[in-house]
Amino acid sequence: MTFDVVIPTSGRPSLRATLAGLAEGAGPSPGRVLVVDDRRHRRGRLPLGEPEPHVRVLEGPGRGPAAARNAGWRAARSEWVAFLDDDVVPQCGWRAGLERDLAGLDGRIGASQGRIEVPLPANRRPTDWERNTAGLEGARWATADMAYRRSALAAVGGFDERFRRAYREDADLALRLMDAGFELASGVRRTLHPVRPSARWVSLRLQAGNADDALMGALHGRHWRRRAGAPRGRLPRHVAVTAAALAAAAGAVAGRRLPALAATAAWLAGTSELAWARIAPGPRTREELLTMVASSALIPPYAVLQRAHGRARLRRLLREPGPRPEPPAAVMFDRDGTLVEDVPYNGDPGSVRPMPGARRALSRLRSAGIGMAVVSNQSGVARGLLDVRQVEAVNRRVEELLGPIGPWLWCPHAPAAGCGCRKPAPGLVLQAAEALGVEPARCAVVGDIGSDVDAARAAGARAVLVPTARTRPEEVAAAPETARDLESAVELLMGRE
């Protein structure tokens, strides 16, 4: 298991503590720690402290945390990419905990979440802002501490950069990973998230997230909150309170005293309920009371305004390109049923018939400079139905018809042999990646049955299934990506489908 760490930063002084915590305790060292400097105006040096030799600073695009994280993971080369925020402190032994969390995860697991702990004051009740931050302890898939398999990120194109704030971009990515067939796991490593100092009106600033919720609904449907484990929120109440305020104003202008009084009473009741819900669990200091009362009057209309703003900009955002899968550095193909028609235990070169569009698909990859290989189970050798010379003769005929492909890796063993090369084991994929000089995480495997997909996932590679008549329905349902034919599979991998 290898991992890189990506830390996007806006230059906060807390970055120094993040890097120091990462270096403490036992555990394997990361391949690289990629600090993405995402300051719009890069004045002065980042607060790096005494960075380790493997810490590298990247210049971020300055378009928000989603774009900064994309810049980080695309520069990473390890099997796993662990994201940390620049205001968290990995606890002693975090690297050892990450190693335990990731050890033995099969290729279906695309991500592992750490445990976030928010220290609250022991001598008083927490403030509204402190309780808000403490909500991270129960948040699902928060990128304050989240490790992703690099091949999973590549398969879905990483973070959606249309989310400009550090809000909902993590839930969006989690839902897209699950839609692609990956599972997300929870780990045991621990990360401290101290409560940052905040401005008095921070609760108003947080209402900007309502605009991102509009984008989430457009991308993932009305039930996205249930799938993402996100609370329903108070927007329906905010709408009602805001409507009451507008009705009160309209009634007053029209001289309709009783309707105006009734609407005012409804507005006052709704505002009081919100204020008390925020005041009751808090310290109830004079400053906290004043802040809660004033902000509770402003939050409903501002939240509604932000949601309206989000809906108004949806058409423009949906016209912008969303995340696109990263083209692989190499593509590995199954032979029978994928490149050529499946003739059981074929040892006759004269029986080789290319699948429709196979030659054009391979030419497309060659012209793009993408490496290729073949990974094929040939148990007919172990069964005595073929010999090595026949397999190699058929392989040569495939290349005569389709052009040079690259290294040929094939397993001669029977299913009961328990070897590490026969698909769904990852051996052939790993050998092909080594022969091509490419990390498995930057490879893709194209095949026609579930064992091809499972071998890719076990190796940490991307998988595309091209179903045929012999592909079982459950294999199609379980595949992270499917294509109708070989040409479509290549276009999908190239980001053109």
Neighbours of 218 (CB within 10 A): 15
The catalytic position among 336, 448, 452, 454 is 336
Q: What is the arrangement of strands in the sheet containing 33-37, beginning at the earlier edge strand?
A: 55-59, 33-37, 3-9, 80-84, 145-149, 109-117, 183-192, 89-90
Q: Compute CA distances 233 → 230, 304, 475, whole Å.
A: 8, 12, 38
C-alpha to C-alpha distances, 155 to 225, 336, 440, 492, nearest whole angstrom: 23, 24, 13, 10
E strand spans, 50-182: 55-59, 80-84, 89-90, 109-117, 145-149
Q: How far is Cα of residue 188 from the mean position of the Cα atoms in its chain?
A: 19
Q: What is the pLDDT of residue 497?
A: 54
CA dist 153 and 171 (Å) reads: 14
Residue with tokens 């094929």: 376
Beta bridge partners of 463: 445
Task: Work out the number of other CB atoms within 10 angstroms of the CB of residue 95.
Answer: 21
Alpha-carbon distance of 413 to 425, in angstroms, equals: 12
How far CA 118 is from CA of 9, 82, 106, 184, 322, in Å, comes to 20, 20, 31, 22, 33
What number of other Cβ atoms are within 10 A of residue 83's Cβ? Answer: 24
For the chain, 497 residues long, give each residue's pLDDT as a single digit of tens.
789 999 999 999 999 999 999 999 899 999 999 999 998 777 778 888 777 778 999 998 989 999 999 999 999 988 899 999 999 999 999 999 999 999 988 878 999 999 999 999 999 999 999 999 999 999 999 999 999 998 889 888 999 999 999 999 999 999 999 988 889 999 999 999 999 999 889 999 999 999 999 999 999 999 999 999 998 889 999 999 999 999 999 999 999 999 999 999 999 999 999 999 999 999 999 999 999 999 999 999 999 999 999 999 999 999 998 898 778 999 999 999 999 999 999 999 999 999 999 999 999 999 999 999 999 999 999 999 999 999 999 999 999 999 999 899 999 999 999 899 999 999 999 999 999 999 888 899 999 999 999 999 888 888 999 999 999 999 998 888 899 999 999 998 987 65
DSSP 207: G
- Which structure tokens are listed for 221? 């449907």
Q: Find out whether 165 and 64 touch, Cβ atoms under 8 Å.
A: yes
Q: Give the model's pLDDT for residue 346.
A: 95
| Active-site residue flag, 212 | no
Instruction: Return the pLDDT at 243.
Output: 97
268: amino acid identity, one letter: L
Q: What is the pLDDT of residue 113?
A: 97
Q: Which residue do the tokens 């960075």 mark?
A: 51
Contact 32, 56 (CB under 8 A): yes
What pLDDT score does 496 carry?
61
The residue assigned the tokens 């947080």 is 206
Cβ pair 8, 69 in contact under 8 A: yes
Query: What's the residue count for the chain?
Result: 497
> Per residue in 435-491, pLDDT tens?
999 988 889 999 999 999 999 988 888 899 999 999 999 999 888 889 999 999 999
**CA angle 412-416-421, nearest 5°?**
45
Contact 189, 98 (CB under 8 A): yes
CA distance 249 to 260: 7
Other C-beta atoms closer than 10 Å to the C-beta of 123 total: 5
pLDDT above 70 covers a percentage of the chain that reads 100
Instruction: List domains and CATH numbers for the chain.
Output: 3-196 (3.90.550.10), 199-318 (no CATH), 330-493 (3.40.50.1000)
Residue of 86, 101, 334, 454 marked active site: 334
CA distance 233 to 111: 26
Q: Are 377 and 411 in contact (CB under 8 A)?
A: yes
The one-character DSSP state at 357 is: T
Cα distance between residue 255 and residue 439, in whole Å: 74
DSSP string, 238-268: HHHHHHHHHHHHHHHHHT-HHHHHHHHHHHH
Q: pTM for the full model?
A: 0.79
> Are 102 and 147 in contact, with CB atoms under 8 Å apart?
yes
Task: Tell me, yes or no, if 336 is annotated catalytic.
Answer: yes
